C-alpha cells in the first residue's frame, strides 16, 4: 500500500503483467533497476519498475521485509527517527520520477533509472517533451505531468528545484519542499493533498502545522480529516494545535465542535493567542448554540482585533444588529490604559453597513487627540482614515487642522498621516488641501520632532499627485541635506513623486548630485531617479562613475537595463496566450499572477 494514494491501494497486490495489460503498457516500455538512498548512516537499495513515461509500477525494499526486531537491531536508538523515512522513500520517488522524466535532468538519486529511460526512449524513437499523455493511464501521474507542463514558469522552477532531488529530503532540507507544497495548495491542484500526506513524515512540527492550515484546509476529504485528528492528539504537535485546528475548521461536525470548545476553555485560560482564538471561532462559526454566541461576545469585547473580526461575523450571522454591537463595545473605547481595546473598537467601525449609525462614529473620531498623546497608541492613526472618509463632511478639515496644532508630537504626526492617507487612497472624498493646511504642512517641515518631519515629507509626496504643485520642490529641497537619513529619504521620494506630475526642476541638480556620493544605497537610488531626466554634462560625468555601483538598483537605472522582473512579464504574456488555447488554465491564476507582477514592477 502506498500511503496517501487511496485509488492505488491494491497496486502491489496485482500481478505486474496484469497491471501492464490493464494500462496498455508494452514490455518494451518497462525499465527495472536498483537505486540506492543514503538514509542516516546506512544505504538502502530499492528495486524500481517504471515506464518510459515516469509511471512507477512497483517498488521493492528488502529492508522493510525483515522482521521488526531485525530492523530495530540494525537501526538501534535511531529506529523511530529513520524508519518513517525508509518507509516513505517510495512515495517521494513516485513524486520525483515523473518530474525528472519531463526534462531528464541529471539527478544523483535517480540517475541510474533516468539513464535507462533515456536509452529506451531513444530506441523507441520517443520524444522527451512533452510526454504523450494518451499513453499515460495512471490518473495521478497524468495530473502531475499536466501540472508541470502548463504551470507558469516561475512556480514550475520553484517546485522542480524543491522536489526533483530525493537527496533534498534525505539531507532534511525541508523548507523548499514545504514551499512547493504550499504553492500546490494555493492554486488548489488536485494532487496537492496526496503530495502533502506523502511528505508529512519528513516535516518538523512547524512545517506540518503550516501545511495543515494552508493546504489540507482547502481539501475537505475524509482521509485529510483523519490525519488532522491524529495530529491534533499527538504529543509532538502540541505547539501547533492552532494550525491543525484551522485545518479541521472546514468539517463543522460534532467532534470538531467539541475539540474547539475544549480548546477555548482550557488552552486560553491564562494566555489567548490571537491566531488560536481566530481558528477556534472559524471551527465554531456554523454552530448556533448559546456557548458559541457567548464566546463571540467575549472575544468581540476583548483586545484581539483580528479574532474580533471573526467574532463579529458570527454575531451578525445570528441577526445581531450594528447598534447592539456598538453599544456593547463602546465602554472599552474609553479605557485609556488599554489601547489595544481601542483599536479593536475602531476595527468594528470598518464593517458598519447601516448608514443611520454612521453619525455615532463621529464621537470616536473627535476623541482621537486624547488617545493619541501616547506613542504606543499611534497605530490608531492608521485605523481611522477610512472612518473619516466614510463619515466625511465640511467639519473634517477643521478637525484635522486641530490635530496639526496639538501640543503632543504624536498627535501632530497622526494628523499628518491621516491627511496623507485620505489624499492618496480615497479619491472619492472631495478633500480640498487648502492653503491653510498647506502653510501648516510647510511649517511642520521645521518641527523639532523628526517623525513629524518625515511624515510631512512623505505626505507631501502623496498629496502632490492630487494638487500638481511644483512649488513643493523648493520647500522640500533643504531637507535633502538633513543629517537624518530617514528625513533625507522621505524628502527625496516626495520630490521624485512631484516630478512625476510637473516639469523637471533644474534647481534639484546640485543637491541631488551631492546625494550621489552618499554611502547609503537607497539615497543614491533616489538621487539617480530624480536626475534621470536631466541633461547636463556634469550629471553625465557623475553617472559614468556610478556604472559600476555596488547597488543593483543604481546600476540598473544608470545603465538603462530592463527591470529584474522582465522575465516574469514574459511569463505573464505567455500565460495570456495559453489561456486562450487551454481551458484548463485557471482564470484566478492568471489574474493573481498579473497583480503580483504589477506590484513587483511598482516597487522597481
pLDDT tens readout for residues 385-403: 555 555 555 455 666 777 7
**Which whole-number Å values give the CA distances from 490 to 204, 422, 486, 577, in the listed order?**
43, 18, 6, 41
**Which whole-number Å values give the CA distances from 133 to 54, 99, 102, in the listed order?**
11, 14, 12
Tell me the pLDDT band of 7, cut-offs 50, 70 and 90.
very low
Q: Which sign does the torsion angle of CA 464, 467, 472, 476 carry?
A: negative
CA–CA dist 526, 553 (Å, integer): 10
Which tens digit of pLDDT belongs to each residue from 459-510? Answer: 777 776 566 677 778 888 888 888 888 888 888 888 888 887 778 878 888 8
Q: Model pTM?
A: 0.48
Closest alpha carbon to 360 in 394, 324, 335? 324
Packing angle, helices 192-199 and 79-103, rounded to 10: 140
Q: List, in sequence order, every beta strand (DSSP E) within 252-308.
A: none
Strand partners of residue 137: none
CB 144 within 8 A of CB 99: yes
The predicted model gives 131-146 an average pLDDT of: 65
CB 508 within 8 A of CB 530: yes
Long-range pairs, 120-127, Cβ under 8 A, ≥24: 120/28, 120/29, 120/31, 120/52, 121/52, 124/28, 124/29, 124/52, 126/52
Which tens digit of pLDDT belongs to each residue from 167-198? Answer: 444 444 566 667 767 767 776 766 678 777 77
Residues 6+ apart with CB under 8 A from 60: 46, 47, 48
CB 524 within 8 A of CB 496: no
Residue 302 is given by DSSP the state: S
- How much is the pLDDT for 387? 53
Closest alpha carbon to 319 in 298, 296, 299, 341? 296
CA–CA dist 186, 195 (Å, integer): 13
CB 263 within 8 A of CB 240: no
- How much is the pLDDT for 245? 85
Q: Which sign does the torsion angle of CA 483, 485, 487, 492 carry?
A: positive
Higher pLDDT, 510 or 145: 510
**Which whole-number Å values give the CA distances from 426 to 358, 362, 422, 431, 472, in the listed order?**
18, 18, 5, 9, 21
Q: Which sign does the torsion angle of CA 552, 531, 600, 484 carry?
A: positive
pLDDT at 292 over 70: yes
Closest alpha carbon to 140 in 88, 89, 99? 99
CB 254 within 8 A of CB 229: no
- How much is the pLDDT for 431? 61
Average predicted confidence (pLDDT) for the chain: 69
CB 372 within 8 A of CB 400: no
Neighbouring C-beta atoms of residue 359, cutoff 10 Å: 10
pLDDT at 548 over 50: yes
The predicted model gives 219-238 an average pLDDT of: 83
Which secondary-structure segment (H or E) carries 438?
helix 435-444
Structure-block grid coordinates of residue 476: 522640500
pLDDT at 81 over 80: no
CB 442 within 8 A of CB 436: no
Residues 6+ apart with CB under 8 A from 260: 245, 248, 249, 280, 283, 284
Residue 33 is given by DSSP the state: E
The predicted model gives 138-159 an average pLDDT of: 56
Tell me the pLDDT band of 229, cut-offs 50, 70 and 90.
confident
Strand partners of residue 58: 49
Which secondary-structure segment (H or E) carries 59?
strand 56-60
Higher pLDDT, 126 or 442: 442
CA–CA dist 326, 455 (Å, integer): 32
CB 381 within 8 A of CB 414: yes
Higher pLDDT, 426 or 194: 194
Which tens digit of pLDDT belongs to each residue from 256-274? Answer: 889 888 888 876 665 667 7
- How much is the pLDDT for 102? 65
Is the bond into 130 cis (omega within 30 degrees of 0)? yes
pLDDT at 238 over 70: yes
Amino acid at each position: 500500500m502506498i500511503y496517501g494514494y487511496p485509488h492505488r491501494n491494491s497496486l502491489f497486490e496485482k500481478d505486474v503483467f496484469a497491471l501492464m495489460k490493464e494500462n496498455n503498457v508494452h514490455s518494451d516500455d518497462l525499465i527495472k533497476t536498483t537505486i540506492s538512498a543514503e538514509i542516516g548512516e546506512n544505504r538502502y537499495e530499492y528495486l524500481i519498475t517504471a515506464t518510459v513515461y515516469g509511471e512507477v509500477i512497483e517498488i521493492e525494499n528488502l529492508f522493510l521485509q525483515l522482521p521488526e526486531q531485525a530492523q530495530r537491531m540494525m537501526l538501534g536508538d535511531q529506529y523511530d527517527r529513520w524508519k518513517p523515512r525508509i518507509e516513505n522513500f517510495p512515495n517521494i520517488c513516485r513524486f520525483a520520477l515523473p518530474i525528472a522524466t519531463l526534462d531528464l535532468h541529471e539527478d544523483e538519486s535517480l540517475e541510474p533509472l533516468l539513464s535507462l529511460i533515456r536509452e529506451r526512449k531513444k530506441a523507441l524513437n520517443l520524444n522527451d517533451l512533452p510526454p504523450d499523455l494518451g499513453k499515460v493511464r495512471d490518473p495521478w501521474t497524468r495530473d502531475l505531468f499536466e501540472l508541470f507542463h502548463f504551470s507558469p514558469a516561475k512556480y514550475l522552477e520553484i517546485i522542480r528545484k524543491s522536489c526533483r532531488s530525493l537527496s533534498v529530503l534525505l539531507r532534511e532540507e525541508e523548507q523548499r519542499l514545504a514551499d512547493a507544497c504550499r504553492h500546490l495548495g494555493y492554486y488548489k491542484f488536485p494532487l496537492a493533498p496526496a503530495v502533502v500526506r506523502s511528505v508529512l513524515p519528513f516535516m518538523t512540527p512547524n512545517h506540518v502545522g503550516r501545511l495543515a492550515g494552508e493546504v489540507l484546509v482547502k481539501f475537505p476529504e475524509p482521509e485529510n480529516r483523519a490525519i488532522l485528528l491524529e495530529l491534533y492528539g499527538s504529543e509532538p504537535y502540541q505547539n501547533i494545535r492552532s494550525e491543525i485546528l484551522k485545518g479541521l475548521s472546514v468539517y463543522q461536525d460534532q467532534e470538531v465542535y467539541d475539540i474547539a470548545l475544549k480548546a477555548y476553555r482550557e488552552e486560553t485560560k491564562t494566555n489567548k493567542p490571537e491566531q488560536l482564538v481566530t481558528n477556534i471561532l472559524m471551527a465554531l462559526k456554523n454552530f448556533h448554540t448559546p456557548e458559541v454566541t457567548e464566546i463571540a461576545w467575549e472575544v468581540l469585547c476583548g483586545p484581539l482585533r483580528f479574532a474580533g473580526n471573526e467574532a463579529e461575523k458570527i454575531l451578525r450571522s445570528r441577526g445581531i444588529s450594528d447598534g447592539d454591537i456598538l453599544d456593547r463595545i463602546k465602554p472599552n473605547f474609553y479605557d485609556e490604559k488599554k489601547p489595544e481595546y481601542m483599536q479593536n473598537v475602531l476595527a468594528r467601525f470598518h464593517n458598519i453597513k447601516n448608514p443611520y449609525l454612521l453619525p455615532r462614529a463621529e464621537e470616536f473620531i473627535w476623541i482621537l487627540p486624547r488617545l493619541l498623546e501616547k506613542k504606543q497608541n499611534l497605530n490608531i492613526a492608521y485605523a481611522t482614515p477610512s472612518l473619516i472618509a466614510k463619515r466625511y463632511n465640511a467639519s473634517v478639515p477643521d478637525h484635522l487642522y486641530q490635530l496639526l496644532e496639538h501640543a503632543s508630537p504624536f498627535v501632530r504626526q497622526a494628523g499628518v498621516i491621516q491627511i496623507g492617507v485620505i489624499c492618496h487612497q480615497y479619491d472619492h472624498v472631495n478633500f480640498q488641501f487648502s492653503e491653510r493646511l498647506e502653510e501648516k504642512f510647510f511649517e511642520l517641515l521645521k518641527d523639532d520632532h523628526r517623525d513629524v518631519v518625515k511624515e510631512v515629507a512623505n505626505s507631501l509626496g502623496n498629496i502632490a499627485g492630487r494638487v500638481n504643485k511644483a512649488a513643493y520642490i523648493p520647500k522640500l529641497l533643504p531637507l535633502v541635506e538633513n543629517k537624518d537619513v530617514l528625513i533625507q529619504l522621505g524628502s527625496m521620494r516626495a520630490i521624485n513623486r512631484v516630478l512625476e506630475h510637473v516639469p523637471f526642476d533644474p534647481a534639484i541638480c546640485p543637491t541631488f548630485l551631492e546625494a550621489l556620493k552618499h554611502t547609503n544605497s537607497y539615497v543614491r537610488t533616489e538621487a539617480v531617479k530624480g536626475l534621470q531626466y536631466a541633461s547636463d554634462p556634469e550629471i553625465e560625468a557623475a553617472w559614468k562613475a556610478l556604472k559600476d555601483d555596488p547597488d543593483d538598483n543604481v546600476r540598473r537605472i544608470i545603465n538603462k537595463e530592463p527591470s529584474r522582473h522582465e522575465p516574469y512579464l514574459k511569463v505573464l504574456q505567455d500565460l495570456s496566450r495559453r489561456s486562450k488555447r487551454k481551458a484548463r488554465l485557471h482564470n484566478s491564476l492568471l489574474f493573481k499572477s498579473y497583480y503580483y507582477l504589477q506590484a513587483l514592477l511598482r516597487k522597481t
